[in-house]
Structure 1
Amino acid sequence: MNDINLPKHWKKIKLSNQDLFNFESGIWKGKKEPLEECTVVRNTNFTSDGYLDLTDVAVLPIEQRHLVKKSLKWGDIVIERSGGGPKQPVGRVVFFNLNDAKYCFSNFTSRLRVIDRNTVFPSYLFFFLLYFHDSGQTRQLQQRTTGIRNLMFQNYKDTTIPLPPLPEQRAIAHVLQTIQEAKFTRQREIALEQERKAALMDYLFSHGTKGEPRKRTEIGEIPESWEVTKLGDLLKLKSGVSRPKDIESKPNAKLTVPVYGGNGILGYTSEKFSDQRLLVIGRVGEYCGCVHIAESPNWITDNALYSEKWFSSEILLDFLAGQLKYFNLNRFQRRGGQPLVTQSILHQLKIPLPPFTEQRAIAAVFQAIDEKIAALEREVEHLDELFHAMLDELMTGRRSAVPLIESGVIQ
């Protein structure tokens, strides 16, 4: 690791110390019987937080003779040996935190196991290796062959690990785990709010808010007081213009005007396209059809469509934006070549339209949920910033976890 001034009571060890650590290379698909199926952790299951995302896992036949040494146990660290990209060096790590679960690890990874847990606390080691990658120090330990980045593994094993006393290791891990758990809790709350919003959309866009009888129409059953109308009868969509010359990815004192492209805000400029609050729909690219509201002032590029003209005063922008998001306009993209949604297609889209007062009531419901989600997302962002700041300070010894031990929080 980088040469830093560690606390004097900390030691230094190396991953190559076989009295402390054991490494095992990843598994290949079995060829010789007897075979047994095993769930395999792959690079695609790694998250930036260092924990496993098991929503999409592979199950492979593994030779039984390899299962014992190729199986994962709680506390194991899985290291990415091949992968990465231009903005993400190879060498990511994940912590295996499952008990009594049969998992192996793929041939693009290696497993690191702590042998002497009286000397090294597995969670502390994991957080250090996460810091090692997060701070970019694996970048100098990678080599490229045929476009794939490989970790120079012997060099990686020669990495110096700063090692505080075991109670301090536990304290450091406790602090970082506490911050991460707070972040994960907020993320789960966001997911629940998004599910609640989706369920409300299903109901409100088909039943309304008044509990009135419904009628059959060409687009399905809708409340009796609602009408079916074409989007093109409500507004005219038009492509934006070229990007401004002074666009930057982040705003500053001069560049304050958001620039909208095919997938929302792509940067900021000092120039102004419109002083009006606009409906914006992605026109080109993978996310064509995504819907946004551009607050004023704004700049709309030619990768997006915007509401150039309104033909009715009985339509609420916030309601219409929510309704069009619900309709998933991406399904109307033109197939073949570059994904594209055109205004001619969208103008023909038939939508159910409630009276203006009910539009306002429905929009208010979604606004309240969106505000709660936005607040939770800000908390996640702040917790993520706090985690990375604490990770850096604790792993370099600039901040001490000893007060947690002395106060009795950590035993």
Structure 2
Amino acid sequence: MQFDMTDLPDSWQKRCIRDVGAVVTGRTPSTKREDFYGGDYNLISPADLDNGKYVITAHKRLTNTGFMQCRALPKDTVLVGCIGNVGKLGMVADKQSATNQQINAVICNQENNPHFIYYSFHSNRSRLEQAADKTTVPILNKTNFENFEIAVPPLAEQHKIASVLGLVQRALEQQERLIALTTELKKTLLHKLFAEGLRGEPQKQTDIGSVPESWDVATLEDIAVAFDYGTSVKCEHGKAGAPVLRIPNVLGGSIDLSDLKHGQPKRSELEQLRLQDGDLLFVRTNGVLENAGRCALYRGELEGCYFASYLIRVRVDSSKVLPAFVNEYARTERGRSFLSGRAIRTADGKFNINSGTLKRVLLPLPGLDEQKEFVRQLDLVERKFTLHESKRSALSNLFRTLLHQLMTAQIRVHAFDLSDAKTLDQQSTIRMRIGKHGST
């Protein structure tokens, strides 16, 4: 696919992929041969791409016999999905990998840095997609792939660009690993706290399973003071009126304000449905069974807010239970399964719950002091998760900006200070001196 190089420096060249390195299309050993599969070698497919830069392991694994049917790829080979999701990317992490026929592999020559070429494909993903034949399944065949053109600077500048982008990407992937670990920690902590409590007490059997001996078990109706349905008054983006929370705003545990609409219910209805700090919102209808009964705690995120139909508000008696405690319990496997297991499937294929179902929800009930400690411990983990999410977002934005500007030579890397490499994931900062269209 042709592109314009008039705005690029004179030292940059337009090159076809065939001039960057050898292009190898993979193959799949016969699936009828059981002795080909189940070993230690990766058979990489598009499903294994776009999961970080390096492909560490693949969904399909080959034995040595099966691997001999393929071409072994050297470390740092660049992988590009060319059938189906054209433009998916990865790099080979070791010498024990091959690909199937949906992937073209680029083994870069000595004149090109494979990491730069990887980032060049990343920058040109939309062009790769446009270059594919628009059949039932998009295909970028080997010939067209080899003729695909990219802009390439001198090798020294390739090294520097790849170093800058690699530094940011490693920091980004580190935050993603921390998010995954924090998510697993929260899941484990939820199970442990609600199953064992904080005091190492003997257990007793109840209608919801084993709980600490001093705990009670109550229905949601026992500890609630109100169950209310939202309004069906029309709401729109950008419309004047009061903000309204809908199903997309009710995530697991928290309120998301990124997709907000406004409406104008009657004043009397607005007063009745105005949310207060500590209100619990439950999704009462959803196309996914597990999401029927999804709960979030309103913490006063938006003043004057009300809620729409398909949501049920539950207001609890705070002298008996903390709203945050109920919210956390609703996120446990036990809490979720009670509601989703009682959802009714409608004619249009959705799953519904109603206030009667909510009222019958059973939940464990320790004393208020223990509830407060539950909430405190879980909130600490949630804050860590939020911090890592914030860092990931900042690094993702930084990576996209640098990728575009470096690959189009809007900025040039004169000197790069790697002294922040160890702290980039903590500070989301990067120190470099850049000049627009200067020489490297």
For normalisation by structure 1, the TM-score amounts to: 0.82
Q: Distance in 1 between matches of 2:107 and 2:169?
A: 22
Query: What secondary structure, in the 3-state scheme, does the structure 2 residue paired with 1:13 have?
Result: strand
> 1:332 corresponds to which residue?
341
Give CA-to-partner distance per residue, 1:69-128, whole Å, 9 cap, x none.
2x33211122111223xxxxx2222122x2243x322222222221x22x0011110110
Q: Secondary structure at the match of 1:402?
A: strand
Q: What is the alpha-carbon root mean square deviation over aligned residues? A: 3.3
**Cα deviations across residues 266-293 of structure 1 (Å, max 9, x unaligned)?**
7112347523232122331223333212
Cα distance in 2 between the residues matched to 1:406 and 1:324 = 46
In structure 2, relative to structure 1, the CA distance for the partners of 1:53 and 1:406 (3 Å cut) is: closer
Q: Tell me the secondary structure at the aligned position of residue 168 of structure 1.
A: helix
Aligned partner of 2:76 in structure 1 is: 75
> Structure 2 vs 1, CA of residues 65 and 354 (structure 1 numbering), >3 Å: closer, same or farther?
closer
Distance 2:242 2:105 in 1: 47
Q: 1:255 to 1:162 in 2, by over 3 A?
A: farther
Query: Where does residue 270 of structure 1 map in the other structure?
Result: 262
Q: Quote the residue 1:41 is aligned against.
A: 44
- Provide the secondary structure at the position in 2 that maps to 1:82: coil
2:26 touches 2:103 (CA, 8 Å); kept in 1? yes
Task: Indicate conservation of the 8 Å contact 2:83/2:139, yes or no.
Answer: yes
**Does the 8 A contact of 2:281 with 2:295 survive in 1?**
yes
Q: Which residue of 1 aligns with 2:119?
A: 127
Q: Does residue 290 of the first structure (1) align with residue 294 of the second (2)?
A: yes
Q: CA deviation at 1:183?
A: 1.2
Shift of 1:214: 3.8
Same amino acid, percent of matched pairs: 21
Q: Secondary structure of the residue that 2:260 maps to in structure 1?
A: strand
Look up the match of 2:309: 302
- 1:123-145 per-position Cα deviation (integer Å, ceiling 9, x unaligned): 11011001101xx2234213332
Partner of 1:393: 405
TM-aligned CA deviation for residue 65 of structure 1? 8.9
The CA distance in 1 between the partners of 2:281 and 2:170, in whole Å, is: 36
- Aligned with 2:127: secondary structure? coil
**Alignment map for 1:125-204 (pairs within 5 Å):** 125-133=117-125, 136-146=126-136, 148-151=137-140, 153-204=142-193
Structure 2 Cα separation of the partners of residues 343 and 164 of structure 1: 64
1:15 and 2:9 matched: no
Following the alignment from structure 1 to structure 2, what is the Cα–Cα distance between the partners of residues 44 and 351?
A: 40
Map residues 103-118 of structure 1 onto 2, 5 A cutoff.
Answer: 103-114=97-108, 116-117=109-110
SS at structure 2 position matched to 1:112: strand
Structure 1 gap ranges (5+):
85-89
Paired residue secondary structure (1:292): strand
Q: Is 1:373 equivalent to 2:376 in the alignment? A: no
Give the counterpart letter for 2:415 in structure 1.
P
* SS of the residue 1:129 aligns to: helix
**Structure 2 CA distance, aligned partners of 1:64 and 1:192?**
35
Amino acid at match of 2:312: L
